[in-house]
Amino acid sequence: MKTMTSLARAAAAAVLAAAGATAAFAQEPVKIGYAIARTGPWAAGAQVTQEPNYILWAEQVNAAGGLNVKGTKRKVELVALDDRSETETVVRSYEKLMGTDKVDLILPPWGTGANFAILPLVQKYGYPLLAPTATGRKLLELKNPYFFALLQQPDTMMNALAEYLTARSVKTVAFIYVDELFGLEQAGALERSLNARGIKIVEKKSYPLGVKDLQPVLNDIKAKNPDAFVALSYPPDTFLITGQSKAIGFNPKVFYTAVGTAFPVFRDKFGPTAEGVMGLGTWNPKSGPAAKAYFDAHVKRWNKEPDRWASAHAWAGLQILEQAVAKVGLDRKALRDYIAANEFDTIIGKIRFKNGENVSTPGVVSQWSGGEFEVVWPPDRATGPALFPKQPWK
């Protein structure tokens, strides 16, 4: 009898210990690491598009009781580092996060080049990477099974632009591009798309990252009088090109700049000058109820608007990660497999991946019009009519 009692007590103690361990585990935060530019030239994009979304998402998840890890709610703890806009620092930071700190999950850095630099580490340590600001076939050609590109690829976006130009009977185009992986890929895709449609390229020219003056180049292009001008630019260049084009009176029928055009600060800085400027985009608050809810939450938290291109892709990546963790937990291989094989509901619509590429979100052309970055092409995604030809600078 005493033996049975002792056994019963031991069993009860084991059950209580297991329950305590489970409870303790449930209280452990899910550590999610990332390195992002808070200083240096990349910070202009990173602090609009990515880090505010990471923080807002973590706050919302924790306010709801925590991240659903296969049925168990656990709080999220962000482990964040400043990569200082330096590729070497990006690599060292992710090596530390994955190899030394052994965080549960990672979020991506900003920009095509930074994401490209950490892909070997992502594969080495087996962390799924849902990248909202990395675009380029060179990344996908590496066939890294852990890499998922949320942005539309260069050929998708440049085909949409070329389709729009064809629909407007544009005959001649001049374009410039930043001499970095992003610019090189976009420029190649644009050239192929224009050639396929018989649109003449009257000028194409690269410029270095960090350029301070492009007025001589713009004056040369102005003299060629193209119907359309395209700058495959990063945020500082986008602002420089727009300001200098206005200063010299260069005002073609189509004026298109790339990264940064979708930032609300572009509209706020240039005011009426922004009217009619086109660029890379995907969405705006008119795109649907989910997009409007996200927009309102972002404005409430940060007292500023999200950008109209990659911000929504960043949020979509967080939604996908959250849905996958709810299904399969924190096993990174299982997460990778689940993300690769399934379709997800996001604020930019349903997303599924094929060989790491988002094959659901089409290429679009957007344009500042009446204070909003309207989607103007293709017609079935449009939130407003296109302004063509672009009116004189205001």
Is 1's pLDDT higher than 70?
no
Nearest Cα to 344, choosing from 130, 31, 143?
A: 130
The whole-number pLDDT of residue 171 equals 98
Separation of first and last alpha carbons in the chain: 95
Residue in 344, 312, 359, 333 with CA at minimum distance from that of residue 122: 333
pLDDT in tens, 176-220: 999 988 999 999 999 999 999 999 999 999 999 889 999 999 999
Residue 347: pLDDT band with limits 50, 70, 90: very high
State yes or no: pLDDT of 8 exceeds 80: no
Task: Give the pLDDT confidence score for residue 136 in this predicted structure.
Answer: 87
- C-alpha closest to that of 183 among 286, 79, 260, 112: 112
CA dist 42 and 326 (Å) reads 33
Rounded Cα distance between 64 and 73, Å, is: 9
Task: Give 19-74 pLDDT, tens digit per residue.
Answer: 444 444 457 999 999 999 999 989 989 999 999 999 999 999 999 999 999 999 99
Reported as a single tens digit per residue, the pLDDT across 226-265 is 999 999 999 999 999 999 999 999 999 999 999 999 999 9
DSSP 346: E
Model confidence, pTM? 0.88
Statement: residue 293 has pLDDT above 50 = yes
Q: To the nearest whole percent, how much of the chain has pLDDT over 90?
A: 90
- Rounded to whole angstroms, the Cα distance separating 298 from 53 reads 8
Cite the DSSP H helix spans in the chain. 2-27, 43-49, 51-63, 87-95, 112-125, 137-141, 154-167, 181-196, 215-224, 235-248, 264-270, 289-302, 310-328, 332-341
Alpha-carbon torsion (306, 311, 316, 317), positive or negative? negative
User: Which one-letter DSSP state was computed for residue 142?
Assistant: T
Q: Which of 1-15, 101-115, 132-146 has the lowest mean pLDDT?
A: 1-15
The reported pLDDT for the residue numbered 9 is 54
Question: Hey, where are the domains in the chain?
Answer: 23-153+287-358, 154-282+364-381
pLDDT in tens, 78-108: 999 999 999 999 999 999 999 999 999 999 9
Question: For helices 332-341 and 310-328, what crossing angle results, to 10°?
Answer: 120
Q: Using CA atoms, how far apart are residues 257 and 237, in angstroms rounded to an integer?
A: 9
Which are the contacts of 252, defined by CB distance < 8 A and separation ≥ 6? 225, 226, 227, 228, 229, 390
Give Cα 193 distance to the centre of its chain: 23
Average confidence (pLDDT) over 327-340 = 98
Determine how many CB atoms are found less than 10 A away from the CB of residue 249: 9
Q: Strand order of the sheet with strand 357-358?
A: 129-131, 147-149, 357-358, 349-354, 343-346
CB 176 within 8 A of CB 232: yes
DSSP per residue, 264-312: HHHHHHHGGGGTT-EE-----GGG-HHHHHHHHHHHHHHSSPPPSSHHH
Is there a contact between 75 and 57 (Cβ–Cβ < 8 Å)? Answer: no
Average pLDDT, the chain: 93
Q: What is the pLDDT of residue 26?
A: 52
Class of domain 154-282+364-381: alpha beta
Instruction: Tell me how far apart the 2 most distant CA atoms of the chain are, in Å.
Output: 103
pLDDT > 50? residue 386: yes
Q: What confidence score (pLDDT) does residue 10 get?
A: 47
Chain mean position to CA 16: 46
Neighbour tally for 20: CB within 10 Å: 10
Q: What is the pLDDT of residue 299?
A: 98
The CATH homologous superfamily to which domain 23-153+287-358 belongs is Response regulator (3.40.50.2300)
Residue 341 binned pLDDT confidence (cut-offs 50, 70, 90):
very high
154-282+364-381 matches 23-153+287-358 in CATH topology: yes
